[in-house]
Amino acid sequence: MAATILRRLNPAGAAPPRAAPTLDLARRAVSDSSEPLTVETSLPFKPHLVDPPPRTVSTTPRELLAFFRDMALMRRAEIAADSLYKAKLIRGFCHLYDGQEAVAVGMEAAITRRDAIITAYRDHCLYLARGGDLVAAFAELMGRQDGCSRGKGGSMHFYKKDANFYGGHGIVGAQVPLGCGIAFAQRYRKEGTVTFDLYGDGAANQGQLFEALNMAALWKLPVILVCENNHYGMGTAEWKASKSPAYYKRGDYVPGLKVDGMDVLAVKQACKFAKEHVLENGPIILEMDTYRYHGHSMSDPGSTYRTRDEIAGIRQERDPIERVRKLILTHDLATAQELKDMEKEIRKEVDTAIAKAKESPMPDTSELFKNVYVNDCGLESFGVDRKVVRTVLP
Amino acid sequence: MATKAALRELGRNSRAAAGIGGSRGFAAAAAAAPAGVAERSEGGGGGGGTKAVNLFTAVNQALHIALETDPRSYVFGEDVGFGGVFRCTTGLADRFGRNRVFNTPLCEQGIAGFAIGLAAMGNRAIAEVQFADYIFPAFDQIVNEAAKFRYRSGNEFNCGGLTIRSPYGAVGHGGHYHSQSPEAFFCHVPGLKVVIPRSPHEAKGLLLASIRDPNPVVFFEPKWLYRLSVEDVPEGDYMLPLSQAEVIHQGSDITLVGWGAQLAVLEQACEDAAKDGISCELIDLRTLIPWDKETVEASVSKTGKLLVSHEAPITGGFGAEIAASITERCFQRLEAPVARVCGLDTPFPLVYEPFYMPTKNKILDAIKATVNY
Ligand SMILES: Cc1ncc(C[n+]2csc(CCOP(=O)(O)OP(=O)(O)O)c2C)c(N)n1
Ligand SMILES: [Mg+2]
C-alpha cells in the first residue's frame, strides 16, 4: 500500500518491498511542505456534557496530500473488491467502506499505532489505515495464504497485531465490550494509550453497548466509543430502529461529540481531543456522521431503502475525498491534473496488488484444523472426502 | 435487507450449492412421494389444492395462515417488515398491518425477551432471528427465561405461544457467521422443543404445528434449501405432528437418521448405497427434542445398524444423544458401533467448507464400513 500510509505514520518503518514508488515529488509542483496550515471544519462539533474542541484544525500540505492519497487508495481498493466479488474471486460475506474513508484516515492521523482500534466486519480500510498491506488485504479477501489472517478470516476478519488492530468481528455489537477490556489493560500498563472502539448505528441498539458504556464509565477506562453512523443498519434507516438517533448523547452520563465524519480534518480534530479526554476523564462517545455508498453487503444493491438521489446528493456535497481535493486546489498545493495522475498511479498500485494476491496459494488443507486450540488437540486431516477424520483430545 | 438483495443472495447460494454438492435440494419426487400424508387440521387442508413452491414460500404461507387464523399472533424480527433477508415474511406487513408484523431494532436478546413476555400474555409470538449464528445473544433468554417459565412458576405462567424461527446451516460460502448449526445447544434444555424441517411441505406443516404447540419452540430452517427445494405443498392449513419422526424409505441393512438439509445428502447416499446392493432405511427426525425414540428404535431393531449425520460439529452434537439412547435401547440388536458422520470439530471454516461438511461420500463410506463391520 499503502505505501503512503506506511510512510506517513511509520516514517521509520521500512516500506514494503512491493510498493513501487508512485510519484516523483521533486519533478512535480505537488507540495510536500510541512508548513502549518489552518483549516476550519465543515461544521461545528455538537457536544454532550463536554466542551467541544475548536473548529480550526492545523494541518500541513503534506498531510492533506497524504489524506487525499490514502482515501483515494481505499476508495479504489473497495471498488476493486466489488469487482472481485462479482467475478466470484471473493466468496463469503463482504462489506465495503467506500464513503466512510475519512473516519479511518482522520482517526489514524490523530493517534499512534500503539493505540488500539477494534471494529465490526466493515474492516478493510481500517486495516489499511493501520498500515496494512494491500496485497495481504486482497489475499485475505480471496481466502489465500498470504492474507492478513492467513486466508482463514475473509472480508469480515482482518487483523494486524503489530499495529494494535484488534480487527473485524462478525456479531453485531460484540466487539464493544472487548474494546473496554483492551482499554482496561492499557490503563494498567500506564503507557498513555487508548482504544478506539467502533460500532455502527444499528449496533448502537444492542444491549452490550450499554453494558460496555457503564463499565467504561465506572472504571474510567481510556476508551473512545466511535459510532460510525452511516444512517442504515442493513436496510433499516436509523430513525426506524432508534428512538433517539443522537448517538453521541446516548451514553447519558458519558460525554459525547457529534462529528462530521465526511470531513477528515474534523475527524482528526475530534480523535485528538477524545484521546486526551479519555486519558484524563474516562470514556467519550464520538458519533461520526458518515455514509456508505455501497449496499450493506454484496447482496444488497443498496437502492431499495434509500433513493438514488440521496446517494448522489451525498457524493456531490459531502464526499470526503472531494472535500480534500477542493482544499488542495484552493490552497494551490497541487494541480487538478496532478491529483488525477495520483489517482491513476493508485489504480495501478491496486491492480498490481491484486495480481500479486492472486498468485498466493490457497491455505494448506491442514489449516482447517489449526488454531482451534493452542496445541490443536491432535486434530488431523486426511483429505477432502472419502476419508476418515479423527479428533484426538490431548 | 432489500428484497432484491435477498433474491440475489439466494440466487448465488443456489448456484453455489449446485456447484458443490451436486443437487443438494431435496428432489420434489423423493420428498413428496413417501411423505406421510399431512395431518389436516380442523379445516381439513383448507380446501385448497396443492402447488409446487420453494421452502421460503412454504414458510411464508405458514406465517400467513398463522396470522390469519389467530388474531393474537404476531411476527417480528430484524427487517421482517420488509420481507426479511430470505423473503420468508414477504407481504405479511401489508396484509396484517404494522401492529402485528413489525421490524425490531438490532437486539436479539431484547427480541427474545420481548417475545417471551408477549407470549406470556397468551399471544403467539413468532420471532425471527436473522441467522442462527445470531441466536447466541438471545441464548440466555431462551434457555433461562423461556424454557423454565412454566416449571419454575408451578404452571402459573408460561410462554407456550413462543416460536423462534431462524435460518441455519451451510450455504456453500457463508463463512464463520452465516453457516452454523446450533441445534444441539438447545437440545440440552428441557422445556424447549427444537424442530427442523427438510422440505417445503414439511416446513409449512411443522411450522404451523410449532406455532400452535403450547410449548416454546425453536424452529431452525435450512437456508440452503430456501429456494433450492421445491415440492408440492397444500395451499391450505395443515399441521404435521411434532415429536414424530418419519420413515422416508424402508430398508433392511442400516438405519440412517438426520434432519433438515442433511436429509437431502442422506438421500443421495442411500441411492448410491442401493447401487452397491445396500438397503438403507432413512429417517427424518423432524423434532429433535423431545424426539421420537420409538421410531428410531423400531428401525434399528430391524436393521441392527445405525448411522446419524448432521452438519454441526460431531462432539456433543445431537447425534451423540441418539447414539447413546439407541445403544441403551438396542444393545442386543446392534451389530456394529453407531456411526456418526458430522461436521468437524472446528469452527465453521471460510475455506474448505466441503472438507468440513458431512458429504455424501463420507456418509457412503461410513454406510459401507458399518454394514461390513
Ligand atoms: C448479533 C447479530 N445480529 C444480526 C447480524 C446481521 N447483521 C449484520 S450487519 C447488520 C447491520 C448492522 O448495522 P450497523 O451497526 O449500522 O453497521 P453498518 O453495517 O452500517 O456498518 C446486521 C443486522 C449480526 N451480524 N449479528
Ligand atoms: Mg450503519
The residue-averaged pLDDT of B237-249 equals 98
* Cβ contact B198:B259 at 8 Å: yes
State the closest ligand 1 atom to the C-alpha of A170, by its place in the atom list counted from 1: 25
Residues of B in contact with A386 (CB under 8 A): 361-362, 364-365
- Is B107 touching ligand 1 by the criterion CB < 6 Å? no
pLDDT digits (tens, 9 = 90+) for A114-173: 999 999 999 999 999 999 999 999 999 999 999 999 999 999 999 999 999 999 999 999
Q: Is residue B113 part of a domain?
A: yes
Partner-chain contact A171 B136, CB within 8 Å? yes
- pLDDT > 70? residue A8: no
B365 in A contact zone (CB under 8 Å) = yes
Query: B187 and B101: one domain?
Result: yes
C-alpha grid cell for residue B185? 445447544
pLDDT digits (tens, 9 = 90+) for A245-292: 999 999 999 999 999 999 999 999 999 999 999 999 999 999 999 999
- pLDDT > 90? residue A175: yes
State the closest ligand 1 atom to the C-alpha of A230, by its place in the atom list counted from 1: 20
- pLDDT > 50? residue B43: no
pLDDT digits (tens, 9 = 90+) for A208-225: 999 999 999 999 999 999
Residue B85: predicted pLDDT:
93
Which residues 6+ apart lie within 8 Å of A253 measured at CB?
A: A49, A217
Which residues 6+ apart lie within 8 Å of A291 measured at CB?
A: A99, A100, A230, A231, A262, A311, A314, A318
Q: Is residue B126 part of a domain?
A: yes
- pLDDT > 60? residue B19: no
Q: Is residue B42 part of a domain?
A: no
- Nearest CB to B174: which of A92, A362, A377? A92
Query: B228 and B170: one domain?
Result: yes
**Residue A284 DSSP SS3:** strand
Written out in words, the top-level CATH class of the domain with range A37-363 is alpha beta
Query: B222 and B324: one domain?
Result: no
Query: B202 and B320: one domain?
Result: no
| Dist CA A286 CA A282 (whole Å) | 13
- Is A261 touching ligand 1 by the criterion CB < 6 Å? no
Which residues 6+ apart lie within 8 Å of B251 measured at CB?
A: B270, B279, B280, B281, B282, B303
Query: B97 and B199: one domain?
Result: yes
Partner-chain contact B79 A299, CB within 8 Å? no
State the closest ligand 1 atom to the C-alpha of A234, by its place in the atom list counted from 1: 11
Which residues 6+ apart lie within 8 Å of A163 measured at CB?
A: A113, A130, A131, A132
**A380 confidence band (pLDDT: 50, 70, 90):** low
Q: Which of B234, B255, B290 is the last residue of a domain?
A: B234
Residue A375: predicted pLDDT:
72
What is the rounded (10 degree) CA torsion for A19, A20, A25, A27?
170
Q: Is residue B14 part of a domain?
A: no
Partner-chain contact A156 B109, CB within 8 Å? no
A177 in B contact zone (CB under 8 Å) = no
B368 in A contact zone (CB under 8 Å) = no
Pocket test for ligand 1, best of A119, A227, A234, A288 (most atoms within 8 A of CB): A234
Within A87-158, where are the H helices? Answer: 101-110, 124-129, 134-141
| Dist CA B268 CA A324 (whole Å) | 60
pLDDT digits (tens, 9 = 90+) for A61-104: 999 999 999 999 999 999 999 999 999 999 989 999 999 999 99
pLDDT digits (tens, 9 = 90+) for A182-205: 999 999 999 999 999 999 999 999
Please report the DSSP string for B125-189 in residue order.
Answer: EEEE-SSGGG-GGGHHIIIIIITTHHHHTTTS---TTEEEEEEES--SS--TTS----HHHHTT-
Query: B208 and B123: one domain?
Result: yes
Residue A68: predicted pLDDT:
98
pLDDT digits (tens, 9 = 90+) for B58-108: 999 999 999 999 999 999 999 999 899 999 999 999 999 999 999 999 999
Cβ-defined contacts of B119-123 (< 8 Å, 24+): B119/B158, B119/B159, B119/B160, B119/B161, B119/B162, B119/B216, B120/B149, B120/B157, B120/B158, B120/B159, B122/B72, B122/B161, B123/B72, B123/B73, B123/B74, B123/B161
Residue A244: predicted pLDDT:
96
B231 in A contact zone (CB under 8 Å) = no
Partner-chain contact B177 A170, CB within 8 Å? yes
Angle at CA A234, nearest 5°, toward A233 and A235? 105
Q: Is residue B17 part of a domain?
A: no
Q: Round the CA-based radius of gyration of chain A to a whole number and report it.
A: 21
Partner-chain contact B349 A205, CB within 8 Å? no
Query: B170 and B254: one domain?
Result: no
Partner-chain contact B346 A92, CB within 8 Å? no
Residue A377: predicted pLDDT:
59
Active site positions of B, annotated: 108, 178
Q: Is residue B22 part of a domain?
A: no
Q: Is residue B15 part of a domain?
A: no
- pLDDT > 90? residue A37: yes
Domain region containing B205: 50-234
How many folded domains does chain B comprise? 2
A157 in B contact zone (CB under 8 Å) = yes
First and final CA of chain B: distance in angstroms? Answer: 51
Query: B202 and B73: one domain?
Result: yes
Query: The pTM is what?
Result: 0.89
Query: B281 and B160: one domain?
Result: no
Exposure string of B60-75, with b = 16+ CB inside 10 Å and e = fewer, is: bbbbbbbbebeeebbb
Residues of A in contact with B359 (CB under 8 A): 385
C-alpha grid cell for residue A330? 484552493
Q: What pairing do the DSSP bridges indicate for beta strands A236-237 and A232-233?
A: antiparallel
Give the residue range(s) of CATH 3.40.50.970 domains in chain A.
37-363
| Dist CA B7 CA A83 (whole Å) | 19
Q: Is residue B278 part of a domain?
A: yes
Q: Counting beta carbons within 10 angstroms of the beta carbon of residue B214, is it exposed (0 to 12), middle (13 to 18) or buried (19 or more)?
A: exposed
| Ligand (nearest to CA of A294) | 1
Please report the DSSP string for A73-102 in residue order.
Answer: HHHHHHHHHHHHHHTTSS-S-----TT-HH
Q: What pairing do the DSSP bridges indicate for beta strands B193-195 and B217-222?
A: parallel
Query: B118 and B230: one domain?
Result: yes
Q: Residue A204 Cα, ligand 1 centroid: separation in angstroms?
A: 10
- Nearest CB to B350: which of A153, A305, A385? A153
- Is A171 touching ligand 1 by the criterion CB < 6 Å? yes
Query: B263 and B229: one domain?
Result: no
Query: B224 and B298: one domain?
Result: no
Q: With residue B92 as reference, give the H or E element that holds it.
A: helix B92-96
CA distance A139 to chain B (A): 13
Residue A257: predicted pLDDT:
98
A207 in B contact zone (CB under 8 Å) = yes
* Cβ contact B32:B229 at 8 Å: no
User: Of A364-368, B148-152, B284-288, B338-342, where does mean pLDDT reach its minimum?
Assistant: A364-368
The residue-averaged pLDDT of A233-240 equals 94
For cell 447413546, the residue is B324
